[in-house]
């Protein structure tokens, strides 16, 4: 650990992680070019926050459990908590966060969250495991929120970049309404599995793909180096930026913002995982550097 950051390295990638939020700060290629957004406050201070125990927002920013309301801000509290570094080598690191007096004021459940980062050749794997040491089922969501540079640090312009889905995605997408998942839908922006990001698409916040067919996407300029973001087992995907912002968030989720018509009780919220007492559930994504992003 140097300057508070945990630094990992492989032959193809370098990674720096901050204990605050167990959040990635830099992801570099073998030549030291940063692939991750730098958190410039002029646009957005995040880089790659971890979303737990909720993804998105709850009605009134309150978690209601057995009729009692607890304050819970967008995307939960994990991104604002300092994780404990439990284990580290030159190519992997595991961080932990546990329920305590402060978390119980927002989330009245026992939990243990562990996040492991591993570099192997040209691939970064991130695995988060949520364990339930309590005596009642644990309702939780988990999401990844990495922001990649747009444009990536190669030759192409922002307009040249493409997001290429593994499979054709034709189901309508959702937007947010007052921070909640709108019941309205709109046509899928991916044409023949290819989505062209454009500033105008983000004037109304994120695009939300529920239960998509694809388990990975590729991001970059065809014919140039780029990234493959894989998310097996993560059923939902958010795509977000801000107009003119030089980043694109590609966000695998297991959960999403409360729908406009969601029931008040948190445990009944659509998209939640219910982890049994003594059980656990894992959530994973991987980022692979590619010498050519493809078509």
The CA radius of gyration of the chain, in Å to the nearest whole number, is 19
Residue 3 pLDDT greater than 70, yes or no: no
Token pair, residue 150, equals 């747009």
First to last CA, the chain: 39
* Residue 264 phi, psi (nearest 5): -70, -40
Token pair, residue 213, equals 């067919």
49 occurs within a structural domain: yes
- Tell me: the pLDDT tens digits for 69-104? 999 999 999 999 999 999 999 999 999 999 999 999
Q: From CA 93, how far away is CA 268, in angstroms rounded?
A: 34
126 occurs within a structural domain: yes
Structural domain count, the chain? 1
Token pair, residue 217, equals 């996407």
Q: From CA 53, how far away is CA 113, in angstroms rounded?
A: 10
Neighbours of 6 (CB within 10 A): 20
- Tell me: the pLDDT tens digits for 22-43? 999 999 999 999 999 999 999 9
- Tell me: the pLDDT tens digits for 192-247? 999 999 999 999 999 999 999 999 999 999 999 999 999 999 999 999 999 999 99
Q: From CA 135, how far away is CA 150, in angstroms rounded?
A: 45
Residue 125: its pLDDT value, please? 98
Q: Which residues pair with residue 63 across a beta bridge?
A: 70
Residue 262: its pLDDT value, please? 86
Percent of the chain with pLDDT over 90: 97
Burial of 56 (0-12, 13-18, 19+ CB in 10 A): buried
Alpha helices in 93-144, H assignment, sequence order:
101-104
Residues whose CB falls within 8 Å of the CB of residue 104, separated by 6 or more in sequence, listed in order: none
86 occurs within a structural domain: yes
285 occurs within a structural domain: yes
Quote the domain boundaries for residue 137: 6-290
Q: From CA 67, how far away is CA 49, in angstroms rounded?
A: 30
Residues whose CB falls within 8 Å of the CB of residue 37, separated by 6 or more in sequence, listed in order: 44, 46, 47, 48, 147, 148, 149, 246, 247
- Tell me: the pLDDT tens digits for 240-273? 999 999 999 999 999 999 999 888 899 999 999 9
- CATH number where 126 lies: 2.70.98.10
Greater confidence, 2 or 78?
A: 78
Q: From CA 168, how far away is CA 116, in angstroms rounded?
A: 31
Q: Cis omega before residue 24 (within 30°)? A: no
Tell me which DSSP letter residue 258 carries.
Answer: P
295 occurs within a structural domain: no
* Residue 60 phi, psi (nearest 5): 65, 15
Q: From CA 202, how far away is CA 54, in angstroms rounded?
A: 22
Report in angstroms the alpha-carbon separations of 269 from 58, 255, 257, 272. 9, 9, 9, 6
- Tell me: the pLDDT tens digits for 127-179? 999 999 999 999 999 999 999 999 999 999 999 999 999 999 999 999 999 99
105 occurs within a structural domain: yes
Closest among 260, 284, 276, 255 to 75, alpha carbons compared: 255
**CA angle (227 as vertex; 222, 229 as ends), nearest 5:** 125
């Amino acid at each position: 650990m140097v300057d508070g950051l945990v630094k990992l390295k492989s032959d193809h990638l370098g990674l720096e992680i901050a204990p605050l939020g167990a959040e990635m700060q830099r992801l570099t290629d073998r030549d030291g070019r940063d692939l991750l957004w730098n958190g410039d406050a002029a646009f957005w201070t995040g880089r790659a926050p971890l979303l737990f125990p909720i993804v998105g927002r709850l009605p009134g920013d309150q978690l209601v459990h057995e009729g009692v309301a607890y304050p819970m801000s967008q995307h939960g509290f994990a991104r604002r908590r300092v994780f404990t570094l439990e284990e580290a080598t030159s190519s992997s690191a595991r961080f932990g966060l546990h329920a305590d007096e402060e978390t119980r004021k927002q989330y009245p459940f026992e939990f243990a969250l562990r996040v492991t980062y591993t570099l192997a050749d040209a691939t970064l794997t991130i695995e988060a495991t949520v364990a339930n040491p309590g005596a009642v089922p644990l309702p939780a969501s988990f999401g990844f929120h990495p922001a990649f540079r747009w444009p990536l640090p190669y030759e192409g312009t922002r307009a040249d970049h493409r997001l290429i889905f593994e499979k054709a995605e034709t189901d309508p997408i959702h937007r947010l309404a007052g921070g909640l998942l709108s019941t309205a839908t709109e046509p899928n922006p991916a044409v023949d599995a290819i989505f062209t990001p454009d500033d105008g698409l983000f004037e109304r916040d994120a695009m939300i793909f529920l239960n998509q067919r694809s388990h990975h996407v590729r991001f970059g300029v065809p014919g140039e180096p780029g990234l493959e973001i894989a998310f097996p087992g993560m059923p939902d995907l958010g795509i977000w930026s801000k107009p003119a912002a030089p980043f694109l968030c590609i966000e695998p989720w297991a959960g999403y913002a409360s729908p406009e018509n969601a029931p008040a009780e948190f445990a009944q919220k659509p998209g939640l995982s219910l982890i049994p007492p003594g059980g656990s559930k894992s959530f994973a994504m991987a980022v692979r550097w590619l010498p050519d992003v493809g078509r």
